[in-house]
Structure 1
């Protein structure tokens, strides 16, 4: 558990605040155990008022104070911020990174600390419904792996993988994944409006259809192809729709998009 541990969050954008909120709302930590670092005074006031936590404009102060330090800065800020933290960590501290495309080796070299959990969450983390893929640096002990699991479970489900190579794959599939779903939803809503539904009703129908389909899939234990076949009557409306989707190469286009995201993730990581 995180009892008696200090949690510092360096970078309080969307994901940084999602971690703060998730930990506090799940009562995994108390506000007195959290310190958030951000350079903007107005942002520090906002976080203090919303969550009742302490804040600072000094990244190194936060790193020195925390036993678990969440790195939530923008990836393009790593060259500026990470060297500030060099020498600030104690041997038993843990860095939890949510930096897209930044490898554990880069973090270790810049900060001088090698106990790292690298993670790739996605945007539903903001409502504690995310999925986070993460991996740990070589030799990280079970206690600190446990700290990482607790922190990341505060923003949804977490999946630990053994090799860092899976992080770029996770970026392409689940990290970017909500955007694919939103685009499909947008297309369905627009089709509903084109048929004559008011946009409000079309959006309600599509949103609940997606929610219901996902929950049904998760609870049924059946392969998604089997679920699709259950909905598809011979010569029916679903069969007609799926014929057009297949003819339009929907599967291929989605796969191409995922592969494009994967290639870009590897490029950003210097590969």
Structure 2
């Protein structure tokens, strides 16, 4: 990305995370620009990252090889239709807005190279997980640009079919909240068992971090890792049996299915 000019349309948390990730990787500030309607936000990002900020979306996008759409899904249609006359056919458009399909983007922007991404909130700490889908107009070089953009804040994985982004939404897009819920429950249970709340919370968070790092660094899957730490007749086995007796796996499947179905519904609503 060092020789690519990138424009961010919208400067919310996700855009700021991507900008911060790019700057941390050594992308020069002169190659990044962004737009935002708020004067205070423009001043803040210009001071923090040294980038050019604009009130006008078209002015920000002018001359950029990659244009990142990072506005709220509800605003996307109006933003795209207003931006369309200012875009050149060869510019790559990358959307990080949830629920907006490539078909809808093409309707509002015209046929052009489009990459649709589903990042998640850990991108804020550069530990994100993103699914990406490209339309047929996207060149191999542009795919690489999109990959490097999202890898600035974590892991970026390409998908063969756009509907798979609904599953990505269910697994990683909404996924952080599932883990936060489990952390809440474990902290509360630890407190009920007699631990100070702060101690229970710290133990829970460190355990979650350690387990994730073990899984990422292992050459076996999560099921095998679980088996390795579950001694027959031990404390872990007692807990796992209680989880499974309550239908843990079926409940997880139902929850992710609900998230994926809602993703499809939102795409239909927002794409009109």
C-alpha displacement of 1:52: 1.0
Give the alignment of 1:1-271 within 5 angstroms. Answer: 2-27=1-26, 29-270=27-268
> Deviations for 1:36-76, whole angstroms, at most 9, x for unmatched residues?
11101011111111111110111111222321111010000
> Deviations for 1:182-209, whole angstroms, at most 9, x for unmatched residues?
1001110111111121222111111111
CA separation in 2, counterparts of 1:57 and 1:26? 26
CA separation in 1, counterparts of 2:3 and 2:154? 23
C-alpha displacement of 1:113: 4.5
C-alpha displacement of 1:151: 0.6
Q: Taking structure 1 as the reference length, what is the TM-score of the superposition?
A: 0.96
Show structure 1 runs of 4+ deviating over 6 A.
none
Tell me if the contact between 2:12 and 2:70 (Cα under 8 Å) persists in the aligned partners.
Answer: yes
C-alpha displacement of 1:79: 2.1
CA separation in 2, counterparts of 1:217 and 1:118? 28
Tell me if the contact between 2:10 and 2:34 (Cα under 8 Å) persists in the aligned partners.
Answer: yes
Q: Taking structure 2 as the reference length, what is the TM-score of the superposition?
A: 0.95
> Deviations for 1:200-242, whole angstroms, at most 9, x for unmatched residues?
2111111111111111122221122221111222221111111
Provide structure 1 residue ranges, at least 5 long, that are not aligned to the other structure: none
CA separation in 1, counterparts of 2:46 and 2:215? 40
Provide structure 2 residue ranges, at least 5 long, that are not aligned to the other structure: none
Cα RMSD of the aligned pairs, angstroms, is 1.3
SS in 2 for 1:131: strand
Tell me if the contact between 1:75 and 1:99 (Cα under 8 Å) persists in the aligned partners.
Answer: yes
C-alpha displacement of 1:112: 2.2
CA separation in 1, counterparts of 2:11 and 2:195? 40
C-alpha displacement of 1:91: 2.6
SS in 2 for 1:132: strand
SS in 1 for 2:8: strand
Structure 2 vs 1, CA of residues 62 and 113 (structure 1 numbering), >3 Å: closer, same or farther? farther
Number of residue pairs aligned between Structure 1 and Structure 2? 269
CA separation in 1, counterparts of 2:63 and 2:125? 27
> Deviations for 1:85-130, whole angstroms, at most 9, x for unmatched residues?
1122223211111011101111112112421111001111111111
